[in-house]
């Protein structure tokens, strides 16, 4: 009987290790509980972009290779969404291709961004993002991000009709953007900045054009952000990965 009892102790101890939750999340407001809800609000304008930024923590004693998947809890028809984890993916991608290693006791502060585009549609869309150990999916943590689109408070006056995500992303030499802008007398430009906000590249976007290209070969490998600015006012900010 003693031996059976001892074996049971080791069995439950092993199960505790197997199902240990080593991953946790936080945002700008602080630590998040597993399956928490985070609320992000913006107007329902045609050109509105909402962002969620999450920090992923490895509380374990060894490195973890982390992957991300998204799932729709509820979604407003006509809206769209994308996310970045290492690479940035289109709206049809639900599981990240990239697997990012987080060292023991370390955090990943920059690689995850969730983007939501209401495209003129009111209401709340809830998207669950799950971060998990690629070799042990039971070690996971998730958060439900509620993107709430409220009525636009002012008339849409932006000259931006459409502006695609950067591609390829990650980029090694040339990055491209497809776009359509209303004709008019204004100045449009793309500004690429590093993680500290320092400007790396600034390039004018021709109003009458349809595709812009920027040479990023001079930038060191890493995470950057690019913004479209109209008369100096940012219309959106998105993530760009440079890998050589």
- What does the alpha-carbon distance between residue 64 and residue 134 come to, in Å, rounded to a whole number? 8
Give Cα separations from 231 to 54, 158, 200 (angstroms): 31, 11, 19
Q: Following DSSP, what letter does each residue of 121-157 receive, concatenated?
A: --EEEEEEEEEEETTEEEEEEEEEEEEEEEPPSS---
Question: By CB neighbour count within 10 A (0-12 exposed, 13-18 middle, 19+ buried), where does 68 fall?
Answer: buried
> Taking the model in full, what pTM does it have?
0.66
C-alpha 65/C-alpha 86 separation (Å) is 12
Angle at 227 between CA 223 and CA 228, to 5 degrees: 150
Of 222, 177, 181, 217, which is closest to residue 198 (Cα–Cα)? 222
Strands 107-108 and 64-74: unpaired
Q: Does the pLDDT value for residue 106 go beyond 50?
A: yes
Please give the average per-residue pLDDT across 201-230, as a whole number. Answer: 92
> Which are the contacts of 213, defined by CB distance < 8 A and separation ≥ 6?
174, 175, 176, 177
Element (H, E) at 15: helix 2-18
pLDDT of residue 182: 81
Q: What is the pLDDT of residues 19-78, one digit of tens each?
A: 568 999 998 778 999 999 999 888 887 777 888 989 999 999 999 999 999 999 999 999
Inform me whether the pLDDT recorded for 239 exceeds 90: no
When the pLDDT of each residue in the chain is averaged and rounded to a whole number, the result is 86
Do β-strands 233-242 and 222-230 pair in parallel, antiparallel, or remain unpaired? antiparallel
Which domains, ranges and CATH numbers included, belong to the chain? 21-150 (2.60.40.1090), 160-242 (2.60.40.10)
């Amino acid at each position: 009987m003693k031996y059976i009892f001892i074996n049971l102790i080791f069995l439950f101890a092993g199960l505790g290790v197997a199902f240990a939750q080593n991953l946790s999340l936080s945002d700008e407001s602080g630590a998040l509980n597993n399956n928490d809800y985070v609320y992000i609000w913006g107007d329902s304008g045609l050109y509105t972009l909402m962002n969620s930024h999450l920090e992923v923590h490895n509380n374990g004693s060894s490195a973890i290779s982390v992957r991300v998947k998204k799932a729709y809890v509820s979604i407003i028809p006509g809206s769209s969404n994308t996310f970045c984890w290492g690479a940035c993916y289109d709206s049809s991608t639900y599981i990240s291709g990239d697997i990012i290693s987080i060292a023991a006791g370390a955090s990943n502060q920059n690689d995850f961004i969730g983007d939501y585009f209401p495209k003129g549609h009111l209401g709340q869309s809830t998207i669950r993002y799950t971060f998990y150990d690629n070799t042990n999916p039971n070690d996971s943590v998730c958060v439900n991000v509620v993107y709430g689109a409220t009525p636009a408070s002012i008339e849409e006056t932006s000259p931006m009709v459409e502006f695609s995500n950067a591609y390829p992303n990650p980029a090694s030499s040339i990055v491209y953007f497809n776009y359509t802008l209303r004709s008019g007398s204004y100045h449009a430009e793309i500004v690429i900045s590093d993680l500290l906000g320092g400007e790396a590249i600034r390039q004018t976007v021709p109003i009458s054009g349809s595709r812009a290209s920027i040479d990023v070969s001079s930038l060191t490998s890493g995470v950057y952000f690019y913004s479209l600015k109209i008369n100096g006012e940012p219309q959106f900010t998105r993530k760009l990965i440079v890998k050589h």
